[in-house]
Chain A
């Protein structure tokens, strides 16, 4: 694997900020989309900024308060962008942005999408309860691979980097080779990315073999963790009874859907009048067993949502971060997504692969025909 290496004086964050400054000056970029700590200091937010605001940015925030793909989509969805934007986000967020672009909810044409090696993120609600404490924990956790305070969904994530086996289709990926002098490497994945690196004067020919080897080993670790998680989680959702139990505490607030980057509908079908029926229908339904959970829409919502977005699920964990009833939504959905994506040989976040629903292949899924 090859890329360009920068040897900065003051660490990863400074190196990336310098790079972004250069990108704005030399590569015709008009604005940056980055995370910032908010004015009150109690959370993080996305801001579209000009170069002079760069210094205040927080390159690797401890939490993903709002998924970067949602932020990017809100800017580029409506009306053509006259400005070129460079957006820096975690690999899962970048993948979600690419998925949204396939669904015409995000225009990536004027965007230079930059991802970076991700150490994981802390649970959002823990952070909200005590921002200072969790920030300190993150500082430590970010330096120690697979720290146990990182969110469970992160500890089973195998798309946290960009090697030849786990590419990331962002235009540029920023890697932390973790050499002695804290070098930072830039890998370009697209022509656009290559052009930017050229203009900024970062070469692309340095060998990153050691880094790739280390990352591949970590990916294998995580793949094993996924396998283990699958065995465990499977029990919680196999059969209607388990499914009812696991999602029994769900109150149908649908926050999982509204913060999910790839759930893009204005009005969710499962929250609309289309799933509301007449009172006598409900009474009749209740009579069949003598009692009925009212409303009976919860499992319909969960399984229905999964049917709709599973092939695009990138395992970002926004759902689990926000669930008021502490259900392991992200872990369950992410493992289920592995299965649905395998069915169609589909990898969310891959640029040229159209969503499976759009491609009719007469010869597929024959194993499910009776």
Chain B
């Protein structure tokens, strides 16, 4: 069945702004969450006045925070009193679905608008004021369904650039986005929402509909998978065991920024900041006696392995961790590649299916026999 596609004769960015304006004006939604980039600042805005949509840049290729955390705040407890629409990237949408499974949010009164994603630039580029210069090249690559060369490493290796559970998806990859904004209506509730809105809504074919089966998309996926593995090897993560891991993590300063930026890390008080991980002096003394040398503060590896343990089943490879790391540890690549491997053991893809429980919460007697 041909789905509905909304077409707006403006660029993708202007088009989505227009769409959001209409949603606000017609009071179909009370607020829109969308990115705003102003020079070196980028942040999400909660817009209630349609006219203020003009100030936003919903498709800016930057991620100052993973929107999943923000969506949790907006849908706390019973959700917002009135509907809200949010323009977010596929990994943000997937991360939010994982958070919903962890009781940290709800779909109630929330509409997700996502897009086929060409990746985002690292925050460093934003801090240096270089985003503007890189935009033409970004859109050119989007057009050709090619990978932009200076986006986040995890984006270069990301195969989940097609959103799974958005109500609306802006078709961007592999097409010209300068003069037409095409948005596929994916869900029934999405269709319900746009009832009565006067727009060019047609039923038509679009590459997005074939998703991963589309030739261009397939090619991109294969290319991206190779790139991901390549990075993993390059960063010495390929070396087996603790040797490989620790050599990459030696320069970690224990700031825990990765954990705070991670959309899956949802604890109020991280276990690794709690009193349970205070080290009594006697431990230092005994380690000193054994080896004559103790690195302090302790437990660098414990933190990362612990965090891997806690989040990798849900990791969506957004790369926030890597962007905020003050010492440039390729955490994004590390976590996303390990997560990919872990999730495949359970035949699980984080954020793909809202009805699928997180494997750690289900018990099957006959699993993981290979590691027994």
Chain A residues in contact with chain B, CB under 8 A? Answer: 31, 33, 38-40, 42-43, 45-50, 52-53, 65-66, 70-71, 74-83, 124-125, 128-129, 248-249, 251-255, 258-259, 266-267, 271-273, 276, 278-280, 282-283, 286-287, 289-295, 298, 321-326
Contact = CB atoms under 8 A, between A and B. Distances in A.
Contacts of B323: 324
B47 A259 contact: no
Contacts of A278: 76-77
Given A50-B293, A280-B80, 12 more contacts: A38-B250, A43-B251, A124-B327, A248-B41, A251-B43, A276-B76, A282-B46, A283-B46, A283-B80, A291-B56, A294-B46, A295-B44
A249 B256 contact: no
B73 interface: yes
Contacts of B246: 39
Task: State the majority secondary structure of interface residues on B.
Answer: mixed
B297 interface: yes
A290 B73 contact: no
A76 B292 contact: no
Interface in B47-63: 47-49, 51-52, 55-56
A325 B253 contact: no
A294 B45 contact: yes
Nearest to A251: B64
Which of A76, A271, A280 has the most C-beta atoms of chain B within 10 angstroms of its own C-beta?
Answer: A280
A65 to B, nearest CB: 6
Given A45-B295, A66-B297, A324-B323, A253 B74 contact: no
A290 B292 contact: no
Contacts of B269: 266-267
Given A50-B292, A79-B280, A255-B257, A324 B45 contact: no
B294 interface: yes
B124 interface: yes
A324 B33 contact: no
B297 A325 contact: no
Given A40-B250, A279-B79, A294-B46, A124 B326 contact: yes
Interface stretch (B10-18, B147-155, B281-289, B305-313): B281-289
Contacts of A287: 48-49
Interface of B: 30-31, 33, 36, 38, 40-49, 51-52, 55-56, 64-65, 70, 73-77, 79-82, 84, 123-124, 126-128, 246-247, 250-251, 253-257, 260-261, 268-269, 273-275, 278-282, 284-285, 288, 292-298, 323-324, 326-328
Q: Which 8 A-B pairs have the closest CB atoms?
A: A290-B49, A79-B280, A322-B326, A43-B251, A74-B297, A248-B41, A291-B52, A279-B80
Contact of B281 (A50, A81, A259, A286): A81
A79 B70 CA distance: 40
Given A249-B40, A286-B47, A66 B253 contact: yes
B333 to A, nearest CB: 16
Contacts of B274: 266
A40 B247 contact: yes
A184 B326 CA distance: 35
B256 A251 contact: no
B129 to A, nearest CB: 10
A286 B46 contact: yes
23 contacts: A40-B250, A43-B251, A48-B296, A66-B254, A71-B296, A74-B296, A75-B284, A78-B280, A83-B281, A83-B288, A125-B326, A128-B327, A129-B328, A251-B123, A258-B257, A283-B30, A283-B46, A290-B49, A291-B49, A292-B45, A293-B45, A294-B74, A321-B326
B293 A49 contact: yes
A43 to B, nearest CB: 4
Contacts of B64: 251
Given A40-B247, A47-B293, A282-B46, A253 B257 contact: yes
Given A70-B297, A259-B255, A249 B260 contact: no
B297 A271 contact: no
B70 A294 contact: yes
B273 A266 contact: yes
Given A78-B279, A286-B46, A325-B126, A47 B324 contact: no
Nearest to A67: B253
A283 B82 CA distance: 9
Contacts of B40: 248-249, 325
Contacts of B327: 43, 65, 124-125, 128
B250 A295 contact: no
A289 B48 CA distance: 8
A81 B279 CA distance: 12
Contact of A324 (B74, B253, B326): B326
B161 to A, nearest CB: 23
A208 to B, nearest CB: 33
Nearest to A285: B46
Contacts of B273: 266-267
B284 A48 contact: yes
A280 B74 CA distance: 8
Given A248-B38, A255-B255, A324-B326, A39 B293 contact: no
Nearest to B283: A79
Contacts of A324: 123-124, 127, 257, 323-324, 326
Contacts of B36: 293
A290 B48 contact: yes
B278 A283 contact: no
A255 B250 contact: no
A278 B76 CA distance: 7
A83 B286 CA distance: 11
B48 A258 contact: no
A53 B292 contact: yes
A48 B52 contact: no
Which of B38, B41, B75 has the most C-beta atoms of chain A within 10 angstroms of its own C-beta?
Answer: B41
A54 to B, nearest CB: 10
Given A83-B285, A294-B46, A249 B55 contact: no
B257 A282 contact: no
Contacts of B84: 279, 283
Given A279-B74, A290-B49, A290-B52, A253 B324 contact: yes
A255 B42 CA distance: 18
A295 B72 CA distance: 11
Contacts of A77: 278
Contacts of B123: 251, 324-325
